[in-house]
Structures are given as structure tokens and as C-alpha cells.
Amino acid sequence: MFFIFIAAVVLVTFDSWAQEPSASQTVRVLPPKAGPITQNAFGRLVAPWRLDSAKMERQQVFATVCDDAKLCFSFSMSDPQYCESGQKAGPWCLQFSQPNPPAQLVQALIQAFEPDLSEDFWEDKPMGTEFGTREEAPRQAIRLTPDKVLEMIDGDLPKGWALSVRSPHPDARNVALASIVATGPEGSLNLELLEPYTGDWAVCSINYCIDVHEGGAGSVSPATVSTILQALGHRLLQTDSSAPFSQQYATHWRVLLVIVLAVTILLSIIALAGQIPLTHLVLLTALFCLGLGLRLFYSPHTFLHEFGYVTNQLLSINGGALNSYGEAPFVLAWVFNLLFHNQATAFFVASALMAALTIPLVGLLDWLLFDRWDKAHFSAFLLALLPLHLRFSASGVASIALALFSVWGLAMVLLYAKSRSLSALFAGTLAVFLATQSRPEFIIWPVIVLLFVILNGQYKTCLKPGFFAAAALLVLLLAVRFVMFPIAQDAPAPEAYLSFKRIVLFNPDVTPWVFLMFALVGLVWSFSKRFKQTALLVLLILGMAFFYMYFFDNETYTLRTQVALAPFFAMIAGGFAGAIGDFLSKPRWLNYLLLAVASLLVVFSTAQLTNWIKENPLVNQEYSFVHQALPKLPDGPNVALYAPELGPHAFPRMLFGDMGKLIRLVPVERDITGGKDIKFKRGTTMLYKGLYCYADKGKEREQCQLLQRNCELKPILTGSLAGRPSLAGVKPNSKPNQDFSTYEVGFYEVISCGSR
């Protein structure tokens, strides 16, 4: 079995890395030095022009320049080699969003960029490597042939029209996957098949977008273009629903993770056979069933994340883009979604199941560290009822999977040290690998496991040949894909954020006093029995908490990241059972009676926090509103919706595909005065007024207010959300520091825009 697993790893690895693009297939890319050079060029702009904003996305720069009167113009900057309809300026091709930009502005930009013309600005790189890493490269670049594309989109076109597909145009966007030509009575229509969600294109499904190539409509009327896009878009939606994107690189990686998870489960069952007495096995199974029932029917099924994260997480189980924070938390949901075709159910049930599996594993780990079954069972029981863990168990946050795989890996490796079972060792190795793929900072977890083995007095285990083989397997798996942690460059200074008060498990508003009292007693008892193991548990809790505090200071982030500490906190608090057992060992019935009373106090104290546990945050309410509203919205490629494109409040675009809707999403920051950015003027233009309109920072709120102020809007569907602003990153709607606010959201038709 072990060699079969190794073969599977090698096959998946080589299949993912095979067919590298040849050096002769090159694309022109921006080198790293382009950023500072371009920034300096903007500094050379002459008055009255100044740079308002700019962002670099792959091989393009999107910028907005304003004058002293705050009259602004937006434009894109790309490779001048393919500049047909734009204005060349130094090493750039400028294409303005607004027609007829002022000649004074154009001349100012030419003068600013002209000195950079001598720079070796653009470089040639092999196709597929232009984005630096494999995960950033177009996922379909190797496997998506013209025949495959034609099979995906060929459908009910207008009479007399036919399709042909070829490789992308030489001047196509760098995210183009194929060029499509529709030929018919009115001439030729040039289209592009594109990666999803990297721009505001005409029609998108979950996995692809189709847009008209720049200047590609020719003599074809807008009505015919709209009809063709409508047909192709709905065909894409059908392709998504019938074929779950199973031939892409992202899926290969998920298949490997599914294999790893399945082998981990099988090896763990083999390793545990005969190791746990039947009575204790039954009790741990009962605690698992209790925990699973609570997490399926009591824990709130909430995303607890902004739209941007919701979209990324749900795309992960629809075969979409790889998640930069690790795939392991979503791989089980991905499997459930393939089986049951219900992404929301798959997402929440998988999370609840992983949370429940952590409970018996905490009991096993506790027994391996402290050799007391009474303490082990009580620790597992405390985790099953811990309010923080209950609140997030069915929310799909990565910390739930992280808690599971970190405890699982540590328990199995310690079981190997105790029993010398190779099944336990390799199960632990695979679980440790899954922990590293849950959140990138847990690349350190193998070192933590090693410390526990050494401090548990089993350091000789590390010298066994099997241990070296397991370490080699872990290195091989990490070599397949190493997840890097995207640390912000402007991370705050630690002294401004480190505080014991921000460890939410120590906060009585989150963790009832009963748990805290048990933790205090358990800490004293645990130190007296197993000092080194207890000290490492305490350092682990504090270290993880302070690590997360370093980066962000907001309530929802602090809550969801510290869920990963819950198993280790429960093990400390479980020491209360050990203390009772030592001080009141006789008569035995009194010991059981006190533990029963303690258990009732735990149930009662958790029930007191039911409203907090089951709180329905604003973000979840907004998602539900959008989910219910989308089927009632207008449909078609000539329907445009202004909403956030990027950032934490990004609109959940993948819902368009779920609802079978063809709606062109336009970033809210675009200037829609007079509808100039609307590709089809006879269509419907909408504005989504969501929580981003109340954001506590960023330009999205200002743009939303500007559009509401300058445009005539007609309500289509509206609603109201009520909840705590601090969990949604929005301002209180009335009083400062208000704990509860109401927010109006909705979809509005844009009738006209202008100075009002």
C-alpha cells in the first residue's frame, strides 16, 4: 500500500509538470524593475495632472490621473508592440476608458513616459512561466486544445453563423486561452476565451469568460453580438454543470490531497486497531457523535468571511483557482460537491465533519501525552462544548481543518513512538503534510511535532530508519507544492498588537468562567504531572495567538484564527478531571458525581452563550440576500452590474454561474457617467448597493456614494441587514461604537448619470 501511494504521488507530480512549454513559445512580460520605473515616470507628470491611483496586474497597469479640479481619466498601459487603437507613450500603449481624452493629458503622459523608452522594458519568457509560479500561470494553457474549446461552446447560434477556434491572437490579452471566430451573414466576429474573474468581460461561467476581442466586432451589429454571446455564455454554463473541470492542474492537486487524506484515514484505522481499550473507544465514538450532531444542527452554517473570501472558498470546491492559503481545508468539501452537487451543503457539512473528528483525536493525543483516560475523555468533552469551536465549526474557515490535521499528525506520530507502528508513523506524516497545506504558516508544524516527541521522552524514536523514511516522504510531498505565506509588507509593529487580552479563549465573553476555572486547575495539575509537555502546550497556545495578533487587529480575524488553539486549550482544561481523580480517588462514585456535575455546568454555561454562538453576521445575511435576489435579476450579455471587483467585499461572481445568469460585472470604481462604459447601450445597467457602501476604509464606499449621488436609480430588489458592524468591516450606521446597526442593500437600475 505504501509503495502504491508513493507511485500515485510521483504520477500526479510528473503529470502536473509534464509538457512544459518550449522555449520557442514565448510571451512578452514586464520585469520586476517595471514597478519602480513606472512609479518614477508618474512623478514626472506636469501640472495640473497628478496620479490618483495605479495598480499592476500581470502584464498591464491600470491607472487614474486627475487634474486640480478633480476631473479624472482612467486608462490601461500595456505592450506597445500590439498597440492598434491606443496611444503609444514611451514603452507603453495607453488605452483610455473615456473617449476623446484631453490632448493636454495625452501629451503630458507621452512626456512623462518618453525617457523610459531606452529602458529594456519588456522581456520574452517561455509561455506558461510569465506569471512566476505554476499556480499563477493560465491553468488551461497546456490541456485546452482548439477542438476541446469548440466542443465546450458549440451550440445554438443564429442562423447562418458558424464557429472556428485557434490559438490566441498575437495581440490577445495574456490571460486569453483561445481565439474564437464566429462567421456569418454580417461578417466576422472575433472573440476570446479567457480565464475567469480577471476582468469585466461580457459573459462568464464559473471556469471561463468570453469577450469580444478589441475591435473585433467589425460590421456585426450590437444586437447580433449580444445574441451570439448569449448563446455561447449559456453553453459555457452547461459545460460547467456537466463537467466539473476535472482536467485542470488545480484538480490534479486536489486529487493528490484526496489520496493523501484517504490513505491517512486508512493507516490511522490500522494503527489504532488494538491500541485503545473497547470501553474508551466507545466513549470517544460517543463524543464524536455528540460533537457531530451539535455541529450539524446547532453550529451556525455561516461563511463568516467577506465576499472575496467566500468566492475563493467556493471556487475551490468548484474546481476553480488554487487557494493561495492552502487547499486542504476545502478538499473534503470538493469531494462532497462532486458527489452531491450542492456547494453550500458540501461546504458546511465538510467543515462540521472535520470539526467533529478533532474531538476524539484530542482525546487520543491527551492520553498519549498524559496517560490518563479520565483526563482524555474530559478534554474531548470540553472541546465538543467549547463555544468558540462550536461557533466556527460549520463556517469553513481554514482554522477548523488546521486544528484537525495538526492534532491528528501529532497524535499519530506519538502513537508510533509508543507502539512502533509504521502505520501510525506514516499516517502522522501525511496528516502533518495536510496541516502544512491548511494554512501556510504551519510549515513549521513538523518541527513542533519533533519537539513533542523529544520532550515526551521518546527522542530515540527519531533515530529509527522508519522515521527517516517518513521525513523523506514529507519532503517529497512538500516539493510537489510549497505554499508560501503572503505576509503584508506593511505589517504592524508587534508591540502595538500583542496583548493577553486579545487571546479570545481567555475572554469570559467568549469562553465561560467554568471553562476558565477548569483551565486554571488543569494547568496546575498538568504542570505537576508532566511539566515539559504542559509547558510546550502553553507555549504553543501563546505562540500561535501572538503570531496571529501580529498581522491584523479586527474581531472576526482574531476569532476565526484562534479556533486553531481550541484543542490545546481543551487539553489544558481537561486537567481538571485529572485533579479530581487524584484528590478524590475514593470513593469512586464521588469522583464520577463531581465529573457529572462539572459536565452539567459546562452544558449550562455553553447554552448561556447560544445567541453569541449562533449569531448571523452581516456578511452571511448579505450573501443570502444576493443568493435569493440573483434569480430575479435581468439576464443577458447586455446586462451590466456595477459592484466591487476586488478586495474583501468583492461581489460573489461565481453565483452568476450557479443561477445560469449572464451578467457583465463592471468594477464599481469605473466612471459610468452617461453609460460610456456600457458595451451594449440597449441593455440594462444596474448598481449593487451592498456592505461595501458602508466600508470603514477604502475607496469603494466613496465610489458607491458618488454613484448614488450623481445617478438616477430605480430600485429593482432591496432589503435590509442587521448585525454587528465589527464583524463585517463596516462603520456603525448611526452612533459611533454602536454594537448593532441596520444597513439597506439592494439592486438598482441606473437610469442616467450626470451632475445632479
For residue 87, report the phi and psi dihedrals to the nearest 5 degrees: -110, 125
Strands 639-643 and 664-667: parallel
Beta bridge pairs of residue 175: none
The string of pLDDT tens digits covering residues 482-494 is 544 444 334 444 4
Beta-carbon-side half-sphere exposure of residue 318 (alpha carbons within 13 Å): 27
Residue 698, pLDDT score: 65
Q: Which alpha helices (H) appear in 481-530, and where do they start and end? A: 513-529
pLDDT score for 244: 35
pLDDT mean over 562-580: 91
Confidence of residue 289 (pLDDT cuts 50, 70, 90): very high
Beta bridge partners of 379: none
**pLDDT (0 to 100) of residue 75:** 84
Cβ-count burial 144-165 (b if 16+ within 10 Å, e if not)? beeeebeebbeeebeeebebeb
Which residues make Cβ contacts (< 8 Å) with residue 580, sequence separation at least 6?
A: 591, 594, 595, 598
Rounded Cα gap, residues 661 and 204, in angstroms:
9
Which stretches does DSSP call E strand in 127-167? 162-166
| First-last CA distance in the chain | 72
User: How distant is the alpha carbon of residue 559 from its chain centre?
Assistant: 17
Of 35-49, 333-347, 563-577, 732-746, which one has max mean pLDDT? 563-577
Render pLDDT for 361-405 as a digit per residue (tens, 0 to 9): 999 999 998 989 999 999 999 999 999 999 989 887 888 988 999
CA 264 – CA 260 distance, rounded (Å)? 6
Residue from 10, 622, 31 nearest 259 by CA: 10
pLDDT tens-digit series, residues 233-261 = 777 766 654 433 333 445 667 778 888 88
User: Is pLDDT at 281 greater than 50 in this prediction?
Assistant: yes
SS3 747: strand
Omega prior to 587 cis, within 30 of 0: yes
* Rounded-to-integer distance, Cα 326 and Cα 405, Å: 13
- What is the model's pLDDT at position 380? 94
Q: What is the pLDDT of residues 143-180, one digit of tens each?
A: 456 777 777 777 778 888 888 887 665 544 455 677 88
Spatial separation of the C-alpha atoms in residues 21 and 683, rounded to whole Å: 41
- pLDDT digits 0-9 by tens, 460-509: 776 777 777 777 777 777 766 554 444 433 444 444 455 666 788 888 88
Average pLDDT, the chain: 75
For residue 40, give the nearest of 54, 59, 58, 60 by alpha carbon: 54
* C-alpha span between 617 and 722 (Å, rounded): 8
Q: Under a CB-based contact definition with an 8 Å cutoff, are residues 655 and 627 in contact?
A: yes
Those residues whose C-beta lies under 8 Å from the C-beta of residue 623, and which sit 6 or more positions away, are: 303, 307, 310, 652
Contact (Cβ atoms closer than 8 angstroms) between residue 422 and residue 466: yes
Once rounded to an integer, what is the mean pLDDT over residues 708-724? 86
pLDDT of the residue at 489: 38
Mean pLDDT of 59-68: 79
Distance CA 534, CA 56 (A): 49
Q: What is the pLDDT of residue 570?
A: 93
The confidence score (pLDDT) of residue 151 equals 73
Measured CA to CA in angstroms, residue 437 lies from 267, 384, 485, 488, 518 at distances of: 19, 25, 11, 20, 33
CA dist list (Å): 202 to 76, 276, 526, 657: 18, 60, 62, 13
**Cβ atoms of 203 and 209 closer than 8 Å:** yes
d(CA 18, CA 24): 17
Beta bridge partners of 88: 93
Residue 418 cell numbers, joined: 509508543
pLDDT cut 70: percent of the chain above it:
71
Q: Strand 60-66 to strand 72-78: parallel, antiparallel, or no bridges (unpaired)?
A: antiparallel
Helix (H, G, I), strand (E, B) or coil at 174: coil
Please, is 131 exposed, middle or buried when counting C-beta atoms within 10 Å of its C-beta (0-12, 13-18, 19+)? middle
Instruction: Give the cell for residue 454.
Output: 523529544
Residue 184 parent element (H or E) = strand 176-184
In a 13 Å sphere around the CA of 31, the CA atoms on its Cβ side amount to 9
Query: CB–CB of 14/252 below 8 Å?
Result: no
446 versus 315: the higher-pLDDT residue is 446
Give the residue, 294 or 333, on which the prediction is more confident.
Answer: 294
The residue length of the chain stands at 756
Give pLDDT, residue 484: 41
How far CA 583 is from CA of 109, 471, 530, 645, in Å, comes to: 81, 43, 17, 61
User: Cell numbers at residue 229, please?
Assistant: 454571446
State how far the alpha carbon of 305 is from the alpha carbons of 338, 342, 623, 691, in Å.
23, 20, 10, 13
- State the Cα–Cα distance between residues 453 and 405, nearest whole angstrom: 17
Neighbours of 5 (CB within 10 A): 18
Can you tell me the distance from the alpha carbon of 411 to that of 398, in angstroms, rounded to the nearest whole number?
A: 20
Closest CA to 211 of 165, 170, 176: 176
d(CA 259, CA 255) in angstroms, rounded, equals: 6
DSSP 46-108: PTT-EEEEEEEETTEEEEEEE-TT--EEEEEEE-GGG-SSSEEETTEEEEESSSS--HHHHHH
- For position 291, what pLDDT does the model report? 93
The pLDDT tens digits of the residues spanning 107-125 come to: 899 888 888 876 567 776 6
pTM: 0.69
CA distances for 100 relative to 42, 488, 676, 681, angstroms: 21, 39, 12, 19
Residue 409 in contact with residue 435, Cβ under 8 Å?
A: yes
Do residues 452 and 536 touch, judged by C-beta distance below 8 A?
yes
Which DSSP category does 394 fall into? T
Distance CA 376, CA 281 (A): 12
* Contacts (Cβ under 8 Å, ≥6 apart) of 103: none
Supply the pLDDT for residue 654. Answer: 67
**Three-class SS state of 446:** helix
Residue 410's Cβ-side half-sphere holds a number of Cα atoms within 13 Å equal to 36
Residue 407: pLDDT over 70: yes
Residue 214: per-residue pLDDT: 61
Is there a contact between 225 and 642 (Cβ–Cβ < 8 Å)? Answer: no
Closest CA to 41 of 71, 61, 69, 13: 61
Phi and psi dihedrals of 445, rounded to 5? Answer: -60, -35
| Identity of the amino acid at 753 | C
CB-based contact 686:633 (threshold 8 Å): yes
Nearest of 462, 298, 268, 257 to residue 365 by alpha carbon = 268
